[in-house]
Amino acid sequence: MQEGIRLITPDTTSPYFNLAAEEYLLQHTDEEIIMLWQNSNTIVVGRHQNTLAEINTEYVESRDVKVVRRLTGGGAVFHDMGNLNFTFIRNRDEKDEEIDFSGFLEPIIDTLHKLGVPAEFSGRNDIVVEGRKISGNAMAYYRNRVLEHGTLLFSSVQENIAAALKADPDKFSDKAVKSVRKRVANISDYIKEPMDISEFKRFLTECLATAGANVWHKDFTHEEKAVIELLAQTKYSTWEWNFGNSPKYGFERKVKTQGGIIQSTVDVKDGRIEDVRFYGDFFGVESPDILAEKLVGTAHEKNAIERVISGTDLCRFFSKATADDILYLLSPE
């Protein structure tokens, strides 16, 4: 193994590959790593979050925004091509106390200072400029290794960030980690000389390479890419990891139909419907419990629910209700 720190700059903007690459590097190498990477439009949710409670599903579907869960905790973030991500992976003594974020972020903050950006470490895991967040960070441990990664909002479209992460929390009841929204800013707003994100990435690379230990640039080999792509395919791009891995939660909705008001309460575990109950002043010739039983075990997502209720005479349970009414009641989208 070459001494020093290996610098990797992946040539893909696939969030599935990039997050799989982090897991591979953390768990299957012993090198110390710096990785600089970008994702196309993506919401990245924290390891312990309820995905559906963090995202605006209508926006995600209409804009083809990818959704992926990461290894680390913390809140959901939106990535676009105006955002640069960094990952540090280091070896440590397993007996050491937890490593704080500030030590990892010093070279990032020093780089920003060289550009005239008055960045500072704030709170538990943020970098801010004049009280506005430009970087959020998270950490994970594996045996004697620690991974710290974060975002650098350089020229992100802030309206898209707000829209993509605008979920309706009133629909969900759970104990999952909730994101804390803060005022954000772009680094480019504080740089005096014009610079695009490619130039910023080059500048950051140069600064990291001269910050201390020997840094040598080596991107993924063909063998490494093959392993990472398989992990991306079998884990990071799957519904089971990104949605089904959510903590247990409850979901509630109400709809007014021509036949009366119907309210639903759905319990979901491992991303699948565990129980459904219907309430309201509606009429029906059969008990809606029959429909509820058919839904148990179904993935809590629109297409799966639609497949179950299609072909069912829903008016036998809910007089004058439409399929769209019932789909709205049950679907998180």
Interval 73-113: pLDDT, tens: 999 999 999 999 999 999 987 666 666 788 889 999 999 99
Cα angle 242-248-249, degrees, rounded to a multiple of 5: 100
- The residue whose two tokens read 């020229």 is 155
**How far is Cα 321 from Cα 312, in angstroms, rounded to an integer?**
12
Q: Do residues 216 and 230 touch, judged by C-beta distance below 8 A?
A: no
Distance of CA 290 to the CA centre of its chain: 36
Q: What is the pLDDT of residues 263-280, one digit of tens each?
A: 999 999 999 999 999 999
Q: CA angle, corner 259, sides to 254 and 264, nearest 5?
A: 25
3-state secondary structure of 14: coil
Residue 333 pLDDT: 78
What's the confidence (pLDDT) of residue 219? 94
Within the chain, which residue ranges are assigned CATH 3.30.390.50? 249-330
Which CATH number is correct for 5-244, 3.20.20.140, 1.10.3720.10, 3.40.50.1860, 3.30.930.10? 3.30.930.10
Coil, strand or helix at 284: coil
Domain with CATH 3.30.930.10 in the chain: 5-244
According to CATH, the topology of domain 249-330 is Enolase-like; domain 1 (3.30.390)
What is the rounded CA–CA span in Å between residue 10 and residue 7? Answer: 10
Q: Could you report the per-residue pLDDT of 134-181, keeping only the tens digit for each? A: 999 999 999 999 999 999 999 999 999 999 998 776 678 887 767 777
